[in-house]
Structure 1
């Protein structure tokens, strides 16, 4: 391919090299010969679907001419959205993000396309083509002139989602950037947004932020629940539906606030929040989804009641708590984390418990998929905290091999997601027991610290 050639000259050259006539190429491309003739003679504009057919017939991969298609067919004084839209969609499928950038740049000064770009971004987002969608959202946000528009807020919400990943520093930046837009969303979307923000700050252990957004979530969910009851009474069914029952958002806000109290070692207040979300007798609906979430929160309340009592030093409930979690796989990691944390704080032995759940502890080193309100980031953070506490437990008992194994595991995950708080905690713990580290541990530690140094460079 040379810069002096065009797509049409490439097609003509292909026909000459392969000794093809128009009807031959049309047949291979599964196109009408008359349509092919109009395209070759420049009497008809080439659509992206036609380009894909011809490209494939020429033996090239789909998308081979996309960069050139932008400059030859999409650069117009009055852009043709009917050609641009399918082209952007195809680029998203092929992950040709540069082409999407080029097309969107052509529309930057055309404010009339903001709504169309937003709708296409929504399609791509729901198809999980997040990188492509983010390009559109970013440009819509820039072109949106109404500072308090709902569309601008939704763009920022979607960008917050697309920017969430394994790097905790970037997750934090994305959350801070988005939080000022929450109140501009639709009331129902606000519930999801507040839940997502609280979960992000929860994974970062930014407890003041968790409290702030959890309380807002509870207040708004309570209002929406009352409004829903009124709508049901008036038999109106046209209102927007949330992802979860409204009472579940309210209950979740109290679950989050209980965790904040736990973090601040106010276990009595944590129990008050736990008892609050555990009593959902006031929810009168009896559909399957409602009953599912009522049972879930009642179960969580039982487990978290045990949890807070153990954190407060009531070791007598430990056996009941173990019985409770033994049949609940998703609760094992949080439970063991709390048990080991309490063992370190109140100096009691949990060797038998760790032996009982040895298989589960090893499995936590792998990815876990948790349904409901739990997130991958939350599970990763929980395992880091558990690894740190387990390392402290073993090192204190002079079981250095086990202690350093979990210290290195914690440092490994902390480095991977750039969690500076845990990196520092691991470094301090390592320095306290450095003299007991084996040569292999020292090598592994130095390698990880070098990775940290590279990231900081």
Structure 2
């Protein structure tokens, strides 16, 4: 990308675009935007270092965070996209890059704090990548890491359940060990944790269904459906509704009615996408097996 274009870009705007691509699960767009963010901050960094060496006035930047943050964020988002695409070698390379950002000059106190934050995130995501890619032998070490870092329990358990589904593992004992923490998940209100809570609920529903525990699976998929509706994420909503449909024969009448109410409360656009689900002949409570 030409320097003239890079100079006109604002890192915080690109960060917002990356976050949007993540919410939409558009992994190709995430990689594209992560590359643009990296090129942008690389240009800024090199220009600042040149001006410093030549004793010229530094660029006046409009950015909310230290420059090192944007370096780390570009690698983080690229790595997450590669992981979702099953490109684990590429994802590991990205983790290695944001694990050590101390090479940048003129970090300052705030920049050094950002370096430490990304180092911690790299450790957590390294464990997660190990599990997702099949290295289930790190499960006990990861569980201990979660005990020492309670703020990581929700995304961590989501990762563990995801790995259990992918690799056919039984993690009942581990999930039970974190029962006290999981009971608090519903208290989260920030968007990031709500996304993790949706994925955890949905995957736990799949996990319980696989184990033949349809009652538990129904409660979990209803929670996932509520969260998807709350967030307005159409893809999550469709996915959860399809899972509920696969469990419908075990649903109680009140559970079916709750789904009907959620559907009626959706926007006209979403409701029109599911005309069959609004048909009382489909969700006839008299035909439900208890």
Question: When the two structures are superposed, what TM-score results if normalisation uses the length of structure 2?
Answer: 0.84
- Residue 310 of structure 1 corresponds to which residue in structure 2? 131
- Residue 275 of structure 2 corresponds to which residue in structure 1? none
- Residue 235 of structure 2 corresponds to which residue in structure 1? 421
Compared CA separation, residues 382 and 196, structure 1 to 2 (3 A): same
Selected match of 1:249 from 59, 66, 70: 70
Asked if the contact 1:222–1:247 (Cα under 8 Å) also holds between the matched residues in 2, the reply is no
Number of positions where the alignment pairs a residue of Structure 1 with one of Structure 2? 267
Compared CA separation, residues 253 and 238, structure 1 to 2 (3 A): closer
- Residue 271 of structure 2 corresponds to which residue in structure 1? 456
- Residue 111 of structure 2 corresponds to which residue in structure 1? 290
Asked if the contact 1:245–1:289 (Cα under 8 Å) also holds between the matched residues in 2, the reply is yes
2:6 matched to 1:192? no
- Residue 29 of structure 2 corresponds to which residue in structure 1? 209
Which one has the largest radius of gyration? 1
Give the SS at the match of 1:254. Answer: helix
* Superposed displacement of residue 420, structure 1: 1.8
Give the SS at the match of 2:187. Answer: coil
Task: Give structure 1 stretches of 5+ with no counterpart.
Answer: 1-182, 370-375
* Superposed displacement of residue 186, structure 1: 6.5
Matches of residues 320-339 of structure 1 in structure 2 within 5 Å? 320-339=141-160
- Residue 299 of structure 1 corresponds to which residue in structure 2? 120
* Superposed displacement of residue 206, structure 1: 1.5
* Superposed displacement of residue 235, structure 1: 6.1
| Further displaced range: 276-285 or 304-313 | 276-285
* Superposed displacement of residue 435, structure 1: 1.5
Give the SS at the match of 2:249. Answer: helix
Q: 1 or 2 for the larger relative contact order (CA 8 Å, sep ≥6)?
A: 2
- Residue 446 of structure 1 corresponds to which residue in structure 2? 260
Alpha-carbon distance in 1 for matches of 2:42, 2:5: 19
* Superposed displacement of residue 241, structure 1: 4.9
Alpha-carbon distance in 1 for matches of 2:27, 2:50: 35
- Residue 386 of structure 1 corresponds to which residue in structure 2? 200
2:34 matched to 1:232? no
- Residue 267 of structure 1 corresponds to which residue in structure 2? 88
Give the SS at the match of 1:365. Answer: helix
2:223 matched to 1:223? no
Asked if the contact 2:10–2:62 (Cα under 8 Å) also holds between the matched residues in 1, the reply is no
* Superposed displacement of residue 263, structure 1: 0.9
Selected match of 1:353 from 161, 169, 174: 174
Alpha-carbon distance in 1 for matches of 2:218, 2:5: 48
* Superposed displacement of residue 325, structure 1: 2.6
Task: Give structure 2 stretches of 5+ with no counterpart.
Answer: 273-290
What CA deviation, in whole Å up to 9, does each residue of 1:139-167 have, x standing for no partner? Answer: xxxxxxxxxxxxxxxxxxxxxxxxxxxxx
Asked if the contact 1:384–1:414 (Cα under 8 Å) also holds between the matched residues in 2, the reply is yes
Alpha-carbon distance in 2 for matches of 1:360, 1:368: 15
What CA deviation, in whole Å up to 9, does each residue of 1:174-198 have, x standing for no partner? Answer: xxxxxxxxx98964x6100000110
What CA deviation, in whole Å up to 9, does each residue of 1:13-49 have, x standing for no partner? Answer: xxxxxxxxxxxxxxxxxxxxxxxxxxxxxxxxxxxxx
Matches of residues 9-408 of structure 1 in structure 2 within 5 Å? 187=8, 190-233=10-53, 234=55, 236-237=57-58, 239-285=60-106, 287-369=108-190, 376=191, 378-408=192-222
What CA deviation, in whole Å up to 9, does each residue of 1:75-94 have, x standing for no partner? Answer: xxxxxxxxxxxxxxxxxxxx
Asked if the contact 2:6–2:39 (Cα under 8 Å) also holds between the matched residues in 1, the reply is no
Compared CA separation, residues 235 and 299, structure 1 to 2 (3 A): farther
